[in-house]
Amino acid sequence: MIRIDDIDVPVASIEDIILSKTASNRPKDLAALPALRELARQIAAGRTKP
């Protein structure tokens, strides 16, 4: 959940997005996984904001 102005907006975590794209098994989603996994590593290492 993030807050924009006075509105709470639900947002999927990077882990949930990776799981969803893996489960879809569509070529375009599978192609996005390496970049998403790298982003997840950067978030975990504190090098970028979630």
What pLDDT is attached to residue 47? 86
What is the model's pTM? 0.81
22 lies in a domain? yes
Domain containing 38: what range? 12-50
Asked if 11 and 2 touch (Cβ cutoff 8 Å), the reply is yes
Could you list the pLDDT tens digit for every one of the 50 residues in the chain? Answer: 999 999 999 999 999 999 999 999 999 999 999 999 999 999 999 987 76
Asked if 36 and 18 touch (Cβ cutoff 8 Å), the reply is yes
1 lies in a domain? no
Euclidean distance between CA atoms 31 and 24, whole angstroms: 12
Helices and strands (DSSP H and E) totals, the chain: 2, 2
3 lies in a domain? no
Asked if 19 and 13 touch (Cβ cutoff 8 Å), the reply is no
What pLDDT is attached to residue 35? 98
Beta bridge partners of 4: 7
